[in-house]
Amino acid sequence: MTVIAHLTDIHLPSLSLSKLSKLNLKQGFGLLNWQASRHKIHQQDALDLLLQDLDKQEISHTIISGDLTNLALPSEIETAESWLKTRGTPQQVSYVPGNHDYYDNGFALQNKEVFKEHMRSCDIGACLGGGSGPQDPYVRVIDKIALIGLNSAIPTPLFKSFGAIEEQTLEQLSKILKKAQAQGLYRCVVLHHPPLNTITTPQKGLNNDAALTAILKEAGAELVLYGHTHLQRYDRLLTQQGFCHVIGTPSASVGKICQYNLARYNLFDIQTQNGTWHTTMIGRGLDHKCEWVVKAEQRDLK
């Protein structure tokens, strides 16, 4: 049995106005948005409650699918680096960037060693990828699960939060999916933006979702995890090898009743019997009073 924990859109509520440095236009408008509403939604108490509950679970690996920060300010990036370390070693925790982590045009993420460590293939079991730098895609093999991380975050104009996956990354993805299947591995793909165009608007979605969907349909995958919408959602994509389960997890720090789901994480219990994969999703999140973390959902993925 392997259990993968999916946390996303942490939006660490650590924005210190005393540490504001020079802001670009995107960061400036982001700050106004944070001060007007977002600081009331993303709360440290909610995140702490959720993480205390997660720490009681037996998990094999944690995947964090982006938006660790709000404006990607240097002080936030430092906080995010420290926070990532508290969640485990780079071998225990994988990360893909979100659009908010690119508010500085991706400069900090590309230059900070800590983030690179969580975004490269590593030798947990047999390794499909290799190399020593940050990789896009990267592959980590945990037991019999190939975890494939994609970077969908790109710099965007004001009021847009769309993403895109580089063409060469998609080419690599197709090869990796086929290779992993040939090795009898369960394929779990992780990215920040929703992979299907039915999930959100073009302003928020993945620019090249059609190309990604075509690869998933042709090469197959068992599970795709994403964040970004701050909503729980389940979709199913028919591939040439059966159904691919596509799941959006809410933000891990929403502590106020609003248009988004309250803070939640999802666990994926993955087992194989007679050559068939069985996946159970268990969602745990804040109750409506934001006082406790409770089991929000259990679903067998079929």
Return d(Cα 90, Cα 118) in angstroms, integer.
5
Return d(Cα 178, Cα 185) in angstroms, integer.
10
CB of 90 to Fe ion, least distance (A): 22
Q: Nearer to Fe ion by C-beta: 71 or 146? A: 71
Q: Collapsing DSSP states into helix, strand and coil, what is residue 277?
A: strand
CB of 98 to Fe ion, least distance (A): 4
The answer for residues whose C-beta is within 8 angstroms of residue 48's C-beta and 6 or more apart is: none
CB of 96 to Fe ion, least distance (A): 11
CB of 251 to Fe ion, least distance (A): 6
Tell me the torsion sign for CA atoms 10, 16, 17, 21. negative
Footprint on this chain of Fe ion (rule: CB under 5 A): 9, 67, 98-99, 228
Q: Nearer to Fe ion by C-beta: 94 or 253? A: 253
Q: Nearer to Fe ion by C-beta: 140 or 193? A: 193
Q: Nearer to Fe ion by C-beta: 158 or 182? A: 158
* Contact criterion met (CB below 8 Å) for 263 and 51: no
CB of 93 to Fe ion, least distance (A): 18
End-to-end Cα, the chain, rounded Å:
17
Q: Nearer to Fe ion by C-beta: 121 or 232? A: 232
The answer for residues whose C-beta is within 8 angstroms of residue 231's C-beta and 6 or more apart is: 248, 250, 260, 261
